[in-house]
Amino acid sequence: MLERIWTVSTLLSLSRIALVVPFAVCLLVDFPNHRLWAAAVIAAGVVTDFLDGYLARRRHEVTDLGKIVDPIAVFQGDIDRVVPREQSDTIVASLRSRGVPHEYHVYEGEGHGWRKTETIEKFYDSVQRFLTQYVLFA
């Protein structure tokens, strides 16, 4: 079991947790170029995120942690002006092309945040089904 946990991909995933502290310091402490350093920390997180997924797929490493970390649910209001739908469409197209398990929900007449009762109910139902499938029974 331990050999299935401690893979290069898992270590890269866990390394992103360690990036929280330097990122927080970059945001909370005023020092020269602190925003640039915060961006560099984010870039490091993006690189490790790409690498861990790439390596796991290339090496056929399936771990219990990876089963939980990989899937993603994207929820989008079709009239969202903060995060335009085109951005979510692009993300979902990338997930689909790389075979990443995902769900994509677009809510008509909703912006950034849900206002309609029926949308809120659908959202919570979708979240519950997603967590049940990908976390509880992964």
Query: How high is the pLDDT of residue 71?
Result: 84
Residue 18 amino acid letter:
A
pTM here is 0.56
The residues of the chain scoring below 50 in pLDDT are: 1-2
Q: Domain ranges in the chain?
A: 1-69, 71-138
Measured CA to CA in angstroms, residue 50 lies from 94, 95, 110, 129 at distances of 12, 12, 31, 26
Query: How high is the pLDDT of residue 111?
Result: 95
Query: How high is the pLDDT of residue 14?
Result: 84
Q: What is the dihedral of CA 16, 20, 23, 24, to 10 degrees?
A: 170
Residues 6+ apart with CB under 8 A from 109: 77, 78, 79, 116
Query: How high is the pLDDT of residue 51?
Result: 87
Query: How high is the pLDDT of residue 99?
Result: 84
